[in-house]
A = this chain, B = another copy of it.
């Protein structure tokens, strides 16, 4: 592990392609919702790969899979954790989450090999697959990692229902993934490789993104309560149309982004209409609002405008308004020493790196504050994400793996401490 650039690992592509078969869509993506049969298949492969490395798989109560690889040779060794998630959006991309898990498993294979060849490690490795990162089937997103980090109680997470009324507990049990193992203690350091899902790296001509800060997000689950009526005879001025209220809100929430061009992202991606029949005035519409910004005061102001937009829409359409949930994800820096370690690993493997923001949420943000945490991006072609056409080039996949491997190797030699890992100190 002393060469300036690691040789390519063909095993990464073979493993990645195997994961991509589970829930593969005709359009070249994957449809692998949390707790689905396809998710179960991907999880089974994850466990098999860990076992093939003589590792141990622990599955906790919310289905997080921890693949433990003993490198340090003592029972109280600190842990270096690498991973991401294997669930996808509906008709989603193959790379989102899966690239991070597959790369972490390949790092595990390399470190196990290096140990066998005589390298001395002072930390064990844990490769993790987090449950329900996407928040597509069960809300909120980042559910498995958030539970591990102590933001949610496992019982509450397991009781969350999808739109068909199935609980997370039931979905996990159906695929044999409702575990009973204790989760490992918090690691000395957590590192996650992920595709950027934006165009910043492409625009900068860089291969590695070192995430130094996350955009904050305000997520609102709102519902407009109208009155079910016949779309024919019911006079217009007596209608209380919940879908009309939602339409007013969606348009106004989009307009909020124009007040701070490029600095605020707003969206309504999900809506549920009841009874949703062509000739019935909608009685109830639930919708999911997101406001994102890297500026605290702007985020606060935009969030307040979104609240006001929801109220104004309800008033204009004469419906009720119910705010079921309102979550604020703060803007935070990622630890500088972990960023510096990734920068060193990029330099050593010959890849151009820049420091950047993440706009999207990732499991690494769940662990931020609980332990030293790093997040590494590789480019997404054209920034296409949450889309079947999402792609990262084979060369960039290898670059990401090489940086992750170099950083993990340094961390495991140094007992998991980022500062020591940079200095090259063995523990």
Taking Cβ atoms with an 8 Å cutoff, the residues of A that contact B are: 89-92, 134-136, 139, 141, 196-199, 215, 217, 219, 227-238, 241, 243-244, 246-251, 254, 257-258, 261-262, 265-283, 288, 290, 292, 358-361, 383-388
Whether B254 contacts A383 by the Cβ 8 Å rule is no
State A279–B215 Cα separation when bound (angstroms): 14
Which one of B89, B234, B272 lies within 8 Å of A198 (CB-CB)?
B234
Copies in the complex: 2
Whether A386 contacts B247 by the Cβ 8 Å rule is no
Question: Which residue of chain B is the closest to A277 with respect to CB atoms?
Answer: B136
Q: Using Cβ atoms and an 8 Å threshold, which residues of chain B touch A278?
A: 135-136, 139, 141, 219, 269-270, 288, 290
Q: Using Cβ atoms and an 8 Å threshold, which residues of chain B touch A276?
A: 90, 269-272
Q: Using Cβ atoms and an 8 Å threshold, which residues of chain B touch A292?
A: 231-232
Whether B91 contacts A230 by the Cβ 8 Å rule is no
State A253–B262 Cα separation when bound (angstroms): 31
Whether B197 contacts A274 by the Cβ 8 Å rule is no
State A139–B217 Cα separation when bound (angstroms): 40
Question: Which residue of chain B is the closest to A252 with respect to CB atoms?
Answer: B247
Whether B254 contacts A241 by the Cβ 8 Å rule is yes
Question: Which residue of chain B is the closest to A246 with respect to CB atoms?
Answer: B247
State A219–B384 Cα separation when bound (angstroms): 36
State A238–B267 Cα separation when bound (angstroms): 13
Which one of B244, B277, B290 lies within 8 Å of A90 (CB-CB)?
B277
Told that A238-B383, A269-B282 touch, could you supply 6 new A-B pairs with CB distance under 8 A?
A: A233-B383, A244-B250, A247-B254, A247-B268, A270-B273, A270-B277
State A392–B415 Cα separation when bound (angstroms): 78
Minimum distance in angstroms from A93 CB to a CB of chain B: 9
Minimum distance in angstroms from A245 CB to a CB of chain B: 10
Question: Which residue of chain B is the closest to A217 with respect to CB atoms?
Answer: B232
Whether A91 contacts B360 by the Cβ 8 Å rule is no
Whether B91 contacts A275 by the Cβ 8 Å rule is yes
State A197–B134 Cα separation when bound (angstroms): 44
Q: Using Cβ atoms and an 8 Å threshold, which residues of chain B touch A233?
A: 196-199, 265, 358-360, 383, 385
Whether B141 contacts A267 by the Cβ 8 Å rule is no
Q: Using Cβ atoms and an 8 Å threshold, which residues of chain B touch A236?
A: 257-258, 261-262, 265-266
Minimum distance in angstroms from A204 CB to a CB of chain B: 14
Minimum distance in angstroms from A30 CB to a CB of chain B: 12
State A141–B278 Cα separation when bound (angstroms): 9
